Chain A
Amino acid sequence: MDDEKIDLSPLDLAQDPARFERLVARITGDAVARRQRPPLFAALVALMRPALAMAALSVAVIWGGAWFVPARRPSSAAADPTQTLLAWAASGRVPEPGEILSTFGGSHDPGR
């Protein structure tokens, strides 16, 4: 008796072909869209790429600009650092750190 199949055809999705086709089309459309959509990480990388390029360009412009602008020297610095160095050597005096920095183009903040 229970070896016989029970007719469950009223529950069959394919009983309504139009409904079945609509469902197939809906699932397929969404599925293909999802398959073709890049993964989240790849999407983020794709978005980040122009931003990184812009940042690199900005850094290059800033550094390049700084390179071509002549370094300002303090007015107290000697015209020729070599002469100053020789003068210190001849006098035997140990120069102050501030003097060394100002001679070679650096800055010194004694308060720090």
Chain B
Amino acid sequence: MAVMDATTEELVSRARQGDADACELLVRRHLRAAYAVALAVVGSTADAEDVAQEAFLVAFERLDSCREPARFSGWLLQIVRRRAYNALDHRRVRTTHAGALMTENAERSRVDALRQQTPAVGRKERLLEALGHLSPIEREVLLLHDLEGRTHGEIAAALAISEVGSRQHLFKGRHVLRRLLTGESDTEVGHG
């Protein structure tokens, strides 16, 4: 059977034996989801790439401990989340509590600037800024659903939450994000 047609379970089995093609296909299939989860936690695209890469390497090293190869995605995303939160902790220590220095006024002006859609700020940066106002779980659900196209069932399994919880986080996340991005009509696409 061609590697391209292989199921995740088969790919994991081949990757365990050091099959480079299987490893590559696993990376191709799951990199965007890993990146989305990492981005939801760390909030920076560069850091999210690093976290996703590290998580994949850890996953491949521990591939033999993946008990249910068919659920590789959920297993991988758990590793991504742990790595992302570790990275966040390290960054917090490095920045010596820079976040705590941010006053309430400064925060309000940031939101105002966001709403005014300062032309100098790109669309990607505006989205990242707005996502920063959501809770981590709302960001994870929103990115996995609206960016990665995962179903609530898949998200629930990956994030160890209920499907109802996933729907609630998505609803609230979208609501907050739309409010922050009011006036930016091109952010809304009716994919349903």
Contact = CB atoms under 8 A, between A and B. Distances in A.
Interface in B165-192: 171, 174-175, 177-178, 181, 186-192
Contacts of B145: 5
B27 A11 contact: no
B141 to A, nearest CB: 12
Nearest to A10: B124
Interface of chain B, helix or strand or loop or mixed? helix
B49 A23 contact: yes
Contact of B146 (A8, A10, A26, A35): A8
B35 to A, nearest CB: 5
Interface in B13-35: 15-16, 18, 20, 23-24, 27-28, 31-32, 35
Contact of B191 (A4, A10, A13, A20): A4
Contacts of A3: 192
Interface in A1-56: 1-14, 20, 23-24, 26-28, 30-32, 34-36
Interface residues of B, number: 45
A11 B27 CA distance: 18
B11 interface: no
Interface of chain A, helix or strand or loop or mixed? helix
B32 A13 contact: yes
B20 A32 contact: yes
User: When A and B form their complex, which 4 residue pairs have the shortest distance between CB atoms, in order from nearest?
Assistant: A31-B60, A10-B124, A5-B191, A8-B147
Interface of B: 15-16, 18, 20, 23-24, 27-28, 31-32, 35-36, 39, 45, 49, 52-53, 56-57, 60-61, 63, 122-124, 127-128, 142-143, 145-147, 171, 174-175, 177-178, 181, 186-192
